[in-house]
Structure 1
Amino acid sequence: MDTTAFLRWLQGMMTEKNASHKKRIIRFQNSQDFRRFVHEWSEMKASVSSLQSVRQMGIIQAISCPIPDDQPHRRFDGRVWVENDKRIRIHTATQRASAPDKGIPWGVSHIKAPQAWSTTTGHKIKIGVVDTGVDFSHPDLRQSLARGINLLNRSLLPHDDNGHGTHIAGTIAAANQLQGMIGVAPRSSIHPIKAFDHNGSAYVSDIILAIEWCVRNRMNIINMSFGMKTRSKALLSAVTNATNAGIIIVASSGNDGKRRAIDYPARYPQTISVGATNRLRRIAPFSNRGIYIDIYAPGDKITSAWLKGKYHEMSGTSMATSHVSGAVALLLAKQPDLSPNEVKAILRRSMQPLKGKRSPRVTGEIDIAKMLQASDR
């Protein structure tokens, strides 16, 4: 492939006037083409302002950039694939301010996390929370936060300007025994990756860059409390590469109350897909359900950390996902060499049956005591 010609074409496309530019993901089929392109682009971008908005995603040999034409492979001999860089949103059904759930929140207690703390607290397990960032000053999270990244502005810390990411982090790893709340795995480390803006919206390319950061920084778990309706080959490729690197990806199924469909990336078989239950161990009305769900967890009326040191009650499959990420952290702290497939198999054979006549018989709710027993077999 003539990467110099491709770079010139790209520059022309990006500066084309009177055209509606859309963000696209362009993937190179050949790794040598990609490396050559990155080398030439690196040398040119300082002097060509339009090329500075190109972002490279080495994990899938791709770039993202705004161009009007989504068919460059017509000119470049099928050497590149193109897809729209779609929007993706955090999964929240409802939220309201609430008093702190002092001590152990109901969901943490319900899945029997406290019974495991004498043997495992998630120590040394690194969890990449791809979300809206985190409130670094929250007293319940200060002991639990480690280095992260702000993909929207790399010169800033991944500060949360929405609240969702702080809520997720609290359920996973809050550790303030005396005054505040305790999460599922209080000695695990949260690495906040800000990929979502204050409205809870991101591009697929932001998620891919987040996954790439998690692989490079050797996360054990990635929490993905977000989703979209359409599949993305680029996102699937990133998820596959992360799973092949041994990272367990936990993803929320969505809040549409659907019986036969769940959102992506939870629908990809490489992830652990999570549905939400309530205090009665019934599937929450808002939760997607059906054969694509791997496990259910508490997601209805969950109180956790919020901005400015406060607390919020939220409902959604996002909240269920953070319970499962914490549970997997407890498991990995005991048995760090488990593969993603082995973790999923342990979860499946240790679930509590759900309540309700129409509840599935195959998939149940997470039970940490049973999960740890099953892992010893």
Structure 2
Amino acid sequence: MGIYYQSFTPFGQRGIRLAAGDSSRALREWHQGVLILETPEAGAIEGVGDIIKKVAESSGKGEDEIKKLIDEKQDELSGLVSEEGAAYIVARELGVNLLKATNRRLKVKNLIPGLRSVDLMARVVRVFEPREWSRGDKSGKVASVILGDDTGTIRLSLWNDEVKTVLTGAFVEGDTIKVSGGHVKMDNRGQPDLRLGRGSIEKVEDKSIELPMPDQISATSASQRRDIKDFKEGDYGECMAGLVQIFKRSRPFYEVCPQCGNRVAEKEGKYECQEHGQVEPDYRMVLSGVIDDGTANMRVVFFGETAEKVLGKSVKELRDDLSKGKNQEEIYEKCQSVGKDFMFKGRIKRNDLSGNLEMVANEVSDFDVKAEIRRLLEQVKN
């Protein structure tokens, strides 16, 4: 279990994130911002009695004295920690290390928006050319790097001075890199986006590190065709389905930063990006609907160009129509995509409100009958 957190109060935690992984590890206790982890197979001590004996042996104090210190620690913390948790805290305060070092490095599949202090070892799958941005008298560069391991891929966004690592060829496709102290944000398509911030990135020359090569990562992370009924949370897949409904939104677009594409907040009529300050926003379309392939149906969310393709209008055309007082009901009713079959490709996630699975579509393409026939014939041959 990889465990990362944002901040702690003296007697509680805020923004804690647990990324499911190795079930043999268990979160024990926290104290003053310190998380105590146990990994049984790594030699952690089980049970308060064993802890007391180990601390007594290592510290030179008697077992009764250790037990008293544990009781006092529980009283000090108003009973907010268990006896075992208090025992670990006492051990640490006496300079006794009960736990062997644990590897807190996460896998790509465990990276979710909101995580901080992220350590990741990954393979460079693809490096994109930097592009320039400008706002008023300010300008800079941004570059994207696709990283991957045996669990999937994630985009690493590099900004301004960070872009030098790409321009100088510090790493290329196929290199192994280590990200330390990064954080994960949600991009404008609802996908995790790794950022450095105050963290760092370095090339790793250790040949003993086992990671798949870029072509293997691309193959394993590629979308897989399946029925809607077979989709599972976390899948990146594709399905052939009919778009049976578009939900009407009172405002089918939102403001984004023209530099990084992140959503911006309105304050007293002005728009502010967390990273780039006050900006004149761009607009990004958002739609949602229902798809059905005969095995099940699923809610799907479309952003940006994908939403524009589904609606058959650009976000500029849509805003112009609405500003001219065009009836919104009419706009949705004239959507030519409803009732048609498409190939939908995207990430499967669980809706926080309904608890149901939904697809965040990255790509929507017209259904090609001839290509589908060729695919089916190839399946029969194989």
**TM-score bracket for this pair, using the shorter chain length:** under 0.3
Question: Normalised by the size of structure 2, how large is the TM-score?
Answer: 0.23
Q: Which has the higher helix share?
A: 1
> What TM-score do the two structures reach when normalised by structure 1?
0.23
Larger strand fraction of residues: 2
Greater length-normalized contact order (CA 8 Å, ≥ 6 residues apart): 1
Greater C-alpha Rg? 2
